[in-house]
Amino acid sequence: MSENELLRLNHATLLYGNVIGVNDIDVALPTGAYALIGPNGAGKSTLIGLLTGALKPTLGDVRVLGSDPFRSPSVLGRIGLCPATDILLHNVSARKWLELQLALSGWRRRDASQRVQELLEQVDLVGAADRPLHTYSLGMRQRCKFAQAIAHRPELLILDEPFNGLDPVARHQLTQLLIEWKESGRSLIIANHVLHEAEKITDSFLLIYGGRLLASGTAGELHRLLSSLPQEFEIECNDPRLLASLLARETWTRSLDLEDAQGRLRIAIEKPLEFYAALCGWSTSHNLQIDRLLGADGDISQLFRLLVSKHRGEVFHSSPIKRLS
């Protein structure tokens, strides 16, 4: 392991009986901030369970900060976890809750008291520090969970769906806290199913579905991957029948549907870059005027949809190429 390696999963698989929770994930990541993106049920929480030592892989192995989190409890002191579950405590104040977390981490009372005051200021809960947690709004409880996760000054912070149920103000506040954490040079893994929220925090993504890692990389790398995947488009032009006949001759046209009533073309293209080049050439050589072109916009959400479709073995919903009379 290199000094800057954050985690390494070697063909990690977790089975719940006949159900696959994590499916043969093989990845190594340097220190940094990452967004673990996938729909609910994709395997994000199960993967977090492996990273925090709460779960043991059925096959393969897991290393976080150089150690096996399941067999080496000491590494857990270097990890902070903000779980998806809510704080369900009555008649316990945020101050007492945070002091208890630090006591469990081995902090002396005086040091813990000073650290708790710092945390309350950082998450803007000083005015409500001695109120019972069950009187807090969801956004306030979420900020308290964040404070608890970073209380012992971990090297790696892991958050599981931290934006669930938050209003826009609370989302902004939490986003700023996570940006500050990342900019301090410490590592971060945030599991989320909303792409645009994660993009505000980090430029590095892990896309997961069905317990399998579909893709990983920076936003730029994923955008380049998007340009190489089959995509669907909708086109309006001055001569849709001519354009349809030209497209029908190309091997990279996977499906084509001409809607005569609107003069609109729906197509599925296997090589988008070649399609763009051909379209530019045809607009000159055949006097085609493209009035409207809708399709993939380079957005990571489009990439995720395509990768999920590929993983499921799905095909495009467009009709097969139709012969033009």
99 and 187 part of one domain: yes
168 and 27 part of one domain: yes
293 occurs within a structural domain: yes
Burial of 323 (0-12, 13-18, 19+ CB in 10 A): exposed
The separation between CA 27 and the C-alpha centre of its own chain, rounded to angstroms, equals 16
Average of per-residue pLDDT across 298-323: 52
What integer pLDDT is reported at residue 42 of this predicted model?
85
181 and 215 part of one domain: yes
188 and 279 part of one domain: no
18 and 166 part of one domain: yes
Q: How far apart are CA 64 and CA 50, in angstroms?
A: 10
Boundary (domain end) residue, out of 222, 246, 265: 222
Residue 150 Cα distances to 63, 168, 171, 225, angstroms: 21, 23, 18, 35
- Total tally of structural domains belonging to the chain: 2
- pTM, to two decimals: 0.76
What integer pLDDT is reported at residue 323 of this predicted model?
33
To the nearest whole number, what is the mean pLDDT of the chain? 86
198 and 253 part of one domain: no
Q: In which domain, by residue range, is 211 found?
A: 5-222
Boundary (domain end) residue, out of 195, 222, 249: 222
Is the per-residue pLDDT at 214 higher than 80? yes
Q: Which three-class secondary structure state does DSSP give residue 79? A: strand
Average of per-residue pLDDT across 231-237: 86
Report the percentage of the chain scoring pLDDT > 70. 86
Q: Which of 286, 255, 289, 249 is nearest to 270 (CA)?
A: 255
CATH code, 170: 3.40.50.300
**Structure tokens belonging to residue 99:** 């002091």
Boundary (domain end) residue, out of 191, 207, 222: 222
Q: How far apart are CA 170 and CA 90, in angstroms?
A: 22
What integer pLDDT is reported at residue 304 of this predicted model?
63
Listing DSSP states for 208-242 in one string gives: EETTEEEEEEEHHHHHHHHHTS-EEEEEEES-HHH
Q: How far apart are CA 113 and CA 35, in angstroms?
A: 32
Amino acid identity for residue 287 in this structure: N
pLDDT tens per residue, range 154-176:
999 999 999 888 888 888 988 99
91 and 208 part of one domain: yes
What integer pLDDT is reported at residue 169 of this predicted model?
87
3-state secondary structure 238-300: CCHHHHHHHHHCCCCEEEEEEECCCCEEEEEECCHHHHHHHHHHHHHHCCCCEEEEEECCCCH
296 occurs within a structural domain: yes
- Are 153 and 122 within 8 A, CB to CB? no
Cβ density class 93-107: b for 16+ within 10 Å, e for less: bbbbbbbbbbeeeeb
**Structure tokens belonging to residue 40:** 């609910």
325 occurs within a structural domain: no
Lowest mean pLDDT among 84-93, 218-227, 241-250: 218-227
Q: How far apart are CA 244 and CA 256, in angstroms?
A: 7
What integer pLDDT is reported at residue 305 of this predicted model?
63
